[in-house]
Structure 1
């Protein structure tokens, strides 16, 4: 099965999320092929997981001071500061060619493809093994990169890529952040944590988070990362991953999702439950 590779450049945070969801919806409907997309953010953004609370977990004043937009993802997980990074998204059928279809199997397959990509770039990559018990889980944190989840990538035990997933009946969306550099101080300033704890959290983050430019022994160009990702997926999937374009119907759906969902305070601030209630009220 041939895959489509999209490099959509930088977009406004809400449009990035809208386009990911539009491509996922089109694949769910059977009108779009499996897709690997790479993109960036302008302006920088703090993205929240589907179930996170802005009032409890975000320092909105700090985000405004730094020019950082707040956007809620359609996927779960914890907060991610998107700035100097490559973001990837994968949209693919739920059922793989070998018949597997579980959440863990998909994380594993995509993790292998990402690992192949970064091995090509000379990084000593490891895949985090699935957590088997509550004793192995680290204390919860509002920041995504504070802990490794199943089949996420690490270098020297430090998390390199944070990923989250959304699943439908026929297709899934997994997207993730690949930081080129990390501003740990700014990340925790943008989260609602006690000011006296920020420096401790920043120091701990040097032991748990890592960026591409920190892990690499020589500079890596962003275009080289894009190409390594394309080849990493092609090799792991044993399928061609061919450069393509976003279809007009996908752009139209993305614009509609942006206006109705990802540009609204109901979705971004009040949360997914409030947005669903609003949609139900509109439908009456």
Structure 2
């Protein structure tokens, strides 16, 4: 049985890749790659098509990209696209990967909650998306207690100054995603979490998935006059300095959380009293001062935090036809249970002492 299949993928900052193919006896056939990209020499397109033809339909994205790369001779130039981009288009044609428009997105507005509850909701809502009981969702955080949220693999004693934590009454919580510590006072940063199926980033490298999932943020910031860009792996910055950073956690149920914190109006003096930001961590950042490393959005835009949150919400809603949503009583109860059983326990907090 033959079925004509079609997939497309637009490279962020690059070109459109289109793949048309058939599937026969569990393998790819009659593969035709096209798009507005540039490729030299011309005959390399035939090589790409041949490399894809005959691959099993269940070949993962990295396997598809590897097959293309292995087939291309030295000196071939792919401009505006990559082997990985072709792999995404192939997986989308096979309905193994999805695009933004394939999902009904929801947006949860900021709601003031204890920091530990915010962290627990990341696990609760990600599991719901994986189970199919919640649509893919963007949730903005809010809180009113001074906090530090450390990454899943960070050491408590290496990251935090206990005197500073005590002096400033800091609530310390460990999240499920990796990455670095987040210094969070009420109103000093903008934090959001995206809960999504992993099919949306199928075929993308971890590095590319960060940029892909925050493309809408760059669009929103650009509308506010902020020219932001990614500094690999997970920092968001402008020419004036770092704005924030991202982190991810992929669960075994096929869902993931992509989490971002951007500085709005940080108290840098207090931050360096609470966090141990050492010379080694700053060694590749081009600065000797932790206080100069972050450049808040308030200074860069002159806008209120609410105005920036409104712009982010409006951009996401417009781009992805998102609908407003709210946390349910059951979700909040599940998060409260997780706080008691996990996120507010010494065992979880000190699992990396």
Alignment TM-score > 0.5, same fold: yes
Distance, in Å, in 1 between the alignment partners of 2:222 and 2:148 is 28
| Aligned counterpart in structure 1 of residue 329 of structure 2, from 235, 248, 266 | 248
CA shift in 2, pair 1:103/1:234, >3 Å: farther
| Partner residue in 2 for 1:176 | 260
| Partner residue in 2 for 1:109 | 212
Distance, in Å, in 1 between the alignment partners of 2:287 and 2:242 is 14
Deviation of the 1:66 alpha carbon:
0.4
- Residue correspondence of structure 1 range 212-223 to structure 2 within 5 A: 212-216=297-301, 218=302, 220-223=303-306
SS of the residue corresponding to residue 199 of structure 2 reads coil
Deviation of the 1:37 alpha carbon:
0.7
Residue 250 of structure 2 is aligned to residue 167 of structure 1 = yes
Does the CA contact (< 8 Å) of 1:71 and 1:262 recur in 2?
yes
Does the CA contact (< 8 Å) of 1:179 and 1:211 recur in 2?
yes
Residue 340 of structure 2 is aligned to residue 259 of structure 1 = yes
Deviations 1:25-83 (A, max 9, x none): 11121111111111222211011111111123211221121011111111111112011
Deviation of the 1:255 alpha carbon:
1.3
Give the root-mean-square deviation of aligned CA atoms. Answer: 2.3
SS of the residue corresponding to residue 17 of structure 1 reads helix
SS of the residue corresponding to residue 115 of structure 1 reads helix
Does the CA contact (< 8 Å) of 1:111 and 1:127 recur in 2?
no
Distance, in Å, in 2 between the alignment partners of 1:192 and 1:159 is 18
| TM-score normalised to structure 1 length | 0.77
CA shift in 2, pair 1:224/1:193, >3 Å: closer
Deviation of the 1:212 alpha carbon:
0.5
Q: Which range is displaced more, 27-36 or 105-114?
A: 105-114
Distance, in Å, in 2 between the alignment partners of 1:245 and 1:166 is 22
Does the CA contact (< 8 Å) of 1:37 and 1:89 recur in 2?
yes
Deviation of the 1:207 alpha carbon:
4.2
| Partner residue in 2 for 1:156 | 239
Deviation of the 1:107 alpha carbon:
0.7
SS of the residue corresponding to residue 308 of structure 2 reads helix
Structure 1 stretches of at least 4 aligned residues deviating more than 4 Å after TM superposition? none
SS of the residue corresponding to residue 177 of structure 1 reads strand
Deviation of the 1:263 alpha carbon:
1.2
Structure 1 residue runs of 5 or longer lacking an equivalent are 131-148, 195-200, 275-284
More strand by share: 2
| TM-score normalised to structure 2 length | 0.63
Distance, in Å, in 1 between the alignment partners of 2:242 and 2:276 is 22
| Aligned counterpart in structure 2 of residue 81 of structure 1, from 163, 183, 190 | 183
Structure 2 residue runs of 5 or longer lacking an equivalent are 1-102, 279-285
- Residue correspondence of structure 1 range 126-141 to structure 2 within 5 A: 126-128=229-231, 130=232
Residue 265 of structure 2 is aligned to residue 185 of structure 1 = no
Q: Number of residues paired by the alignment?
A: 241
Does the CA contact (< 8 Å) of 2:151 and 2:175 recur in 1?
yes
SS of the residue corresponding to residue 262 of structure 2 reads strand
| Aligned counterpart in structure 1 of residue 127 of structure 2, from 25, 31, 40 | 25
